[in-house]
Amino acid sequence: MARIELSNLAHSYTPGASEPGDFALKAMNLTWRQGGAYALLGPSGCGKTTLLNIISGLLTPSHGQVLFDGRDVTGLPTEQRNIAQVFQFPVVYDTMTVRENLAFPLRNRGMAGKAADRRVREIAELLDLSGELDRKARGLTADAKQKISLGRGLVRPDVAAILFDEPLTVIDPQLKWELRSKLKALHRALDVTMIYVTHDQTEALTFADTVMVMYDGSVVQAGRPDELFERPDHTFVGYFIGSPGMNVLPAEIEGSRARVGGGTIELSRSYDVPSGRRIEIGVRPEFASLAPPGEGLAATVERIDDLGRARLARLRLGGHPFAASVPEALADIGTAAGVVLERAQVHVYADGKRLEGR
């Protein structure tokens, strides 16, 4: 197990690049603590795989250093980094049995005999593969093969970290749920640093203690799932996490008052707003409610989405789309409504970044 750090790290696939737009990863200083369960969450193209490949040693960064427990490993190839990896598609030897597949990474590190057998049985047990140990991998389903792949990643007791790159993408949805919570339990049982890359917020939030949200080559927030939900540091985190995400509206701020969508609201804090920046307020649908017209901010109801246990009003507020959770359909489509915001849950952003009020 190791603490992994990136120091002033940046990467461009274009040699000699100097423009920020040419960098797949931009000026990163990050630490993954020993034994932590982390997710790297972000949309396609934000740099997740590039970052993972730099940690594993498949890619050398154009700037900065990778440190394992304080030791500079930037120039070391993958095989000297003691990292286990699980990829999107199963990496399994078809001609070997499940047992041989699971034992392979141990044999490669010189671990054999009773200790290796015990470890293979332990991992097979954790993944419900005990009954399949003597079967050849060839005849098994894609799901079972991906479980073996996970097992091969998890089997070595001495790894610095295990990296997962979208490992559940090809798995059947039902089994996905099962494996997701199983991975969490495995993390507790094995106590090893795990970094899990995904673009799926449910996967990230169920697996990780710390979710790192990536956007355009940077980690814009690293925090517990509840922190990302309640205090998004960046408007991108607000609308990428949540279903639907946070409402973001252009605003003008003066002290603790905000002019939004033709109305005025009181904020719970006072803000010194830098001039010349794009100022917005952000509030999640869960903290916005419908009121009779004339109360709160003026909006028009465009539709009501019935989500089974909850209802979501889709509104137009000052020309912008806006969502509010409502316990029941309070308004008819096309009618005017008021929108009341939970004051403490309204955040203020300048050029996308959350401002701390006073």
Within 8 A by CB and 6+ apart from 236, the residues are 213, 215, 220, 352
Please say which residue, 46 or 129, places its beta carbon nearer to ligand ATP: 46
Burial class (CB in 10 A: 0-12, 13-18, 19+), 68: buried
Select from 40-48, 79-87, 141-149, 236-244 the region that touches ligand ATP (CB under 6 A).
Answer: 40-48
Q: Is 46 in the site for ligand ATP (CB under 6 A)?
A: yes
**Ramachandran sector of residue 319 (left: φ over 0; alpha: ψ -120 to 50; beta: rest):** left
Please identify which residue in 36, 47, 61, 282 interacts with ligand ATP, judged by CB under 6 A.
47
CA distance 332 to 350: 35
Cβ–Cβ under 8 Å, residues 23 and 50: no
Please say which residue, 47 or 61, places its beta carbon nearer to ligand ATP: 47
Q: Is 274 in the site for ligand ATP (CB under 6 A)?
A: no
E-strand ranges in the chain read 4-11, 25-32, 37-41, 63-68, 71-72, 83-86, 161-165, 194-198, 210-215, 218-223, 247-260, 263-271, 279-283, 288-291, 297-306, 311-317, 320-326, 336-341, 347-350, 353-354
Q: How far is the CB of 175 from ligand ATP (least distance, A)?
A: 22
Please say which residue, 207 or 287, places its beta carbon nearer to ligand ATP: 207
* Cα–Cα nearest to 154, from 210, 204, 202, 196: 196
Select from 43-51, 174-182, 314-322, 337-345 the region that touches ligand ATP (CB under 6 A).
Answer: 43-51
Select from 45-53, 80-88, 143-151, 271-279 the region that touches ligand ATP (CB under 6 A).
Answer: 45-53
Cβ–Cβ under 8 Å, residues 66 and 72: yes
Q: How far is the CB of 13 from ligand ATP (least distance, A)?
A: 3
Please say which residue, 24 or 148, places its beta carbon nearer to ligand ATP: 24
Q: How far is the CB of 53 from ligand ATP (least distance, A)?
A: 8
Please say which residue, 47 or 296, places its beta carbon nearer to ligand ATP: 47
Please identify which residue in 18, 44, 95, 243 interacts with ligand ATP, judged by CB under 6 A.
44
Select from 42-50, 152-160, 181-189, 347-355 the region that touches ligand ATP (CB under 6 A).
Answer: 42-50
Q: Is 50 in the site for ligand ATP (CB under 6 A)?
A: yes
Please say which residue, 43 or 262, places its beta carbon nearer to ligand ATP: 43
Q: Is 57 in the site for ligand ATP (CB under 6 A)?
A: no
Q: Is 199 in the site for ligand ATP (CB under 6 A)?
A: yes
Q: Is 218 in the site for ligand ATP (CB under 6 A)?
A: no
Please identify which residue in 32, 49, 159, 317 interacts with ligand ATP, judged by CB under 6 A.
49
Q: Is 42 in the site for ligand ATP (CB under 6 A)?
A: yes
The count of chain residues that interact with ligand ATP, using the rule CB under 6 A, is 11
Residues 6-25 that bind ligand ATP (CB under 6 A): 13, 24
Cβ–Cβ under 8 Å, residues 334 and 314: no
CA distance 239 to 246: 5
Please say which residue, 101 or 201, places its beta carbon nearer to ligand ATP: 201
Select from 48-56, 221-229, 257-265, 342-350 the region that touches ligand ATP (CB under 6 A).
Answer: 48-56
Residue 160 corresponds to which amino acid?
A
User: CB atoms < 10 A from the CB of 218, how many?
Assistant: 19
Q: How far is the CB of 64 from ligand ATP (least distance, A)?
A: 16
Please identify which residue in 45, 75, 292, 321 interacts with ligand ATP, judged by CB under 6 A.
45
201-207: which pairs have CB atoms within 8 A and are 24 or more residues apart?
A: 201/41, 201/240, 201/241, 201/242, 201/243, 203/39, 203/168, 204/39, 204/40, 204/41, 205/39, 205/241, 206/180, 206/181, 207/37, 207/39, 207/180, 207/183
Cβ–Cβ under 8 Å, residues 183 and 151: no
Q: Which residues bind ligand ATP (CB under 6 A)?
A: 13, 24, 42, 44-50, 199
